Every structure is written in C-alpha cells, then in structure tokens.
Amino acid sequence: MCYCEKMAYLAISLFLLLTCVFSAFAEKRNVLIILADDYGFENQAYNNTVCQTPHLNKLASHSVIFKHGYTAVSSCSPSRSSILTGLPQHQNGHYGLAHAFHHFQAFDQVKSLPVILKNASIRTGIIGKKHVKPPSVFKFDYERTDEHYPMLQVARNITHMKELVHEFLNVNDTRPFLLYVAFNDPHRCTANVELGEFCEMFGNGQPGKGVIPDWKPIHYKPEDVELPFFIQDTPAARDEIAKQYTTISRMDQGIGLFMKELEQAGFSDNTLVIFTSDNGIPFPGAKTNLYEKGMGEPFLVSSPYHRERWGKESDAMASSLDIVPTVLDWFDVSFPDYKLFNEKVKLSGKSLLPALEKEQPTWDTVFASHDFHEITMYYPMRVMKHKNYRLIHNLNYRMPYPIALDIALSATMRDILNRTEAHQKTGWFKTLDEYYYRDEWELFDVSKDPHELNNLVQDPQHLEIFQDMKKKLSSWQYETGDPWRCSPEGVYVDAGVYSKDPFCMSLLNAPPK
C-alpha cells in the first residue's frame, strides 16, 4: 500500500471513528420525571387563568400537552407503584398506602423501573416523596426521600430540592440517567397543621415558619380563585383553594429551578421530561374517586428531539401506566421476562413517543383500578374510559363510599357535613347520600354529562355500548391477573385441582329484593 493510500485509509478510519463517537454522544439520552402530589389542572396549559404557574407554562410550551391524561388509580402509594412498575395496583400488589398501619406494599417479585434500568447500566435517582414499598423492589442508586429525611425538606423546600438535583446531575458519572423528583406540594398538610391547610406558610419568612430562599410566595384572594364544578361555592371552600394555589405556585417555582439545573448541567438537549400527578386534588369528588376529576391528570411530555410538536395539544389518551413503556422505549431497553403467581407479566400501557411525532387518533381507551386508600377505605372499583364514555364497576357498592382522612378533616368537607346536618343547602353538586351510595355499574357520556350525574346503564339506547365496555373491562382484568376479576358475585378459583381449568365460582350473594 502506497503512502497516499495509507493516508486515505487512515482518514476514512478516523472519520468513521469520530462519526461513531459523535453519534453515541448525540444519542445519549436521559429522563427527568417530575411528579406533583394531589395536583389537578390549576395552570394555564389547562385553562386556569388565576393560579400563576409560569414555569409549568414554559414546560408545556416545550411539550406535547395531553388533554386526556389519566392516573391508573386515584390514591397516593398505589399510583406511584403503577408509575414505577407499569402495572395496575391490583397486579403489582400495592393495594393501598405504604406508611404506618396501612402497611401495603408491592409483591417482592415485581420489577420496577429503577431496577430494570440499573440492569441496563442506567443511573437512577429519586428526590422527594417516595411512599412505596418494599425498598428492595423500588431501589434507586441515589435516594434522598422522606424515608431518610424530613418530608418538608426533601419534598416542599424547593431550595433544598434544587441542591439535591444539582448534586445528582453533577456527579462524575457518564452513564445515562433517570431522575424522579416527587413533590409533596400541593398535598394537604395534616401532619403539620401549624403551617396551614396546605403547608402554605412553610418557609414564607414569618416567625417560626422558616425561610425557603428561592421561594417568592404568591398569595391569592378567595374571591378570585376558579372553582371546579365539584367544589361548592362557599367561603370555606374558596379559602382552601386560595391556600392550595399558594403551594402550587411554590411547586411551580421549584420546577423552574430544576429545569435550570438541567440546563446548566448540559442535559437539556438530550433529556425527556415527563410531568404529571399521582391523583386528583384532595377535595370530595376528586381524590380517591375514578370519576373524571379524580382520574384525570395534567400530562406533559417534552422531548428535545421532537421540537416540531412542542406546544401542541393532543386528544390521544395517556395513562400513568404508559410511563414505564415510554421510558424503556426512550432508552431502548426491553421489559424483563418474569412471572407473578405463575402468570407472565405484560405491560398493558404503551410508549407515548409516537405521539411526539404525530397525533394518535386510535389511542382512545384507558383503564384504571382502585381497592384501598387507607386501610379502612375498602372500595374496589374497575374503570374503562373509552372515547366519551366512562364505565365504572363499584364492587363494594352495598357499602357507603369511604372518605380519606385528610378530606374528611378539611374545611370544605366539614362545611358540607355541617350544612347537611343543619338541613341547609350545601351548594354542592350532589347530596351526601348520592355521593356515598353508588350503583354497582355506572356509565356516563362525559361529552354530554361532564358532571357524571346521569347513569346510562339502564338506558336501552346504550345497552350495546354498556355490554361491549363491560366485556372489554373484564378482559383487561383477566389480562392483568386481577384477583377481583369475579367480584362481587363470585370468587376466582385457580388452586389445586382447578389450576389448569380455573373458573368463577358463584356465591349466590345477590342483594335481597
């Protein structure tokens, strides 16, 4: 080989090497998940004009805005378990809250997102509220959570949270990463009532309340807030919403700090950002319910590689069950092959990345399930939302619907209770009896009945829709190994001699006529 040929060969080799290096650098991908706590649609991206959220608005302008985003369960720990496993709570075993005497936790065999990614050499971190168990299932490489630090500091103090985000992003580690930041705002503040109903006084500079250096508190007048239809227009309710807005604005300022840290660390151009919440807002009619306002969530997905769709609204349905398959797709990591109780585990969610390229009109169905919140709140529900219709199966319909403690103690709920007891008008959209006692099956057309008051199950014109959705909901329960798949009329039998031919055994427990 002559000199010229050698030089040409070396030049081509160097070019190919550099191409591979630059390509690998360009394809290095990261994920930031930001999770709000008991948050709804109080921002301009979802048409609230009062609550000031400039940083969420900016994120929305760099995102696909899913108008129909949903949680898979409207309860804190079960929702987080679904977000981190891609499995509905009835499948992963995290039926209720993790803390104190509630003591629920996922099955030991479940494979969570941080564990899956660690096996793919992807660095993982969690900052803020964790609230899932056991630790072995939900193990992150970097953990700065309420399990080891005060909740107020790691999940509401946005300056401290910013410092932890900085610490994680600036370690000497070249691996791609997943960082999961979970606020405690704007959850109610039942553990620290001296700081206000929503901890809105925490860090505001008043005597005994501490200082959050990066927070500029925004205060709202009760007469200015926007009340959703399911919250009565009374002074008590308006006052609570105003306080909630203050903590939402604190969360929003925290999001701005985190996004700035991401940019300063040099990761803005290769990081997928997902923002959503665990469940509906902590008011009667929302949180722990699977009606639209309990199940619906803000859902923003921002990709630096899909700028042509930034700021676009999508009518495609998105679910918290879609987060795991989306992250795995982003990293090009396969879901592991494993079983729970001898049944192969499959994800029932989908990757949302195709919606970042173009609209997905066929994404018109999501499912949800609920069993507990607190240990005393047994009220299993199975839900299918298909296009404009929502079908709810209330398995424990003969019992009154239970109320979460933080909602029961709220000024809003006490206002309803006091007015009801005094035989006064509550201003609420339902009576207490209508709220507590529900039909076994509920079918609503939310396009014509957004308040979900007209149950169409007995309507002959909707019989075909009801039967079709009922069949599909049952199929989803079987596909996800739902232990409640035969409830409430029967019990699923699959043990011993029935293991090869399981069936629903009738208990002949229909209500007496």
Angle at 66 between CA 44 and CA 118, to 5 degrees: 115
Q: How many other CB atoms are there within 10 angstroms of residue 511's CB atom? A: 8
Listing DSSP states for 105-128 in one string gives: ---TT---HHHHHHTTT-EEEEEE
**Omega into 488 within 30° of 0, i.e. cis?**
yes
Instruction: Name the catalytic one among 2, 20, 76, 189.
Output: 76
Q: What's the CA gap between 328 and 510, in Å, rounded?
A: 45
Which residues in 90-206 belong to E strands, given as ranges? 123-128, 142-145, 177-182
Query: Identity (one letter) of the amino acid at 332?
Result: D
Query: Tokens for 197?
Result: 């109903």
Q: Report the run of H or E that residue 276 belongs to, with start and end.
A: strand 271-277
Judge whether 76 counts as a catalytic residue: yes
At residue 80, what are phi and psi to the nearest 5 degrees? -65, -35
Both tokens of 370, joined, read 């609920």
Strand partners, 277: 36
Q: Count the Cβ atoms, other than its own, within 10 Å of residue 139.
A: 14
Q: DSSP labels for 208-266?
A: TT-B-TT-------GGGSPPPTTS--SHHHHHHHHHHHHHHHHHHHHHHHHHHHHHHTT
DSSP string, 277-329: ESS--SSTTSTT--SHHHHEE--EEE-TT-GGGTT-EEEEEEEGGGHHHHHHH
Torsion of CA 71, 76, 81, 83, to 10 degrees: 40
Catalytic positions: 76
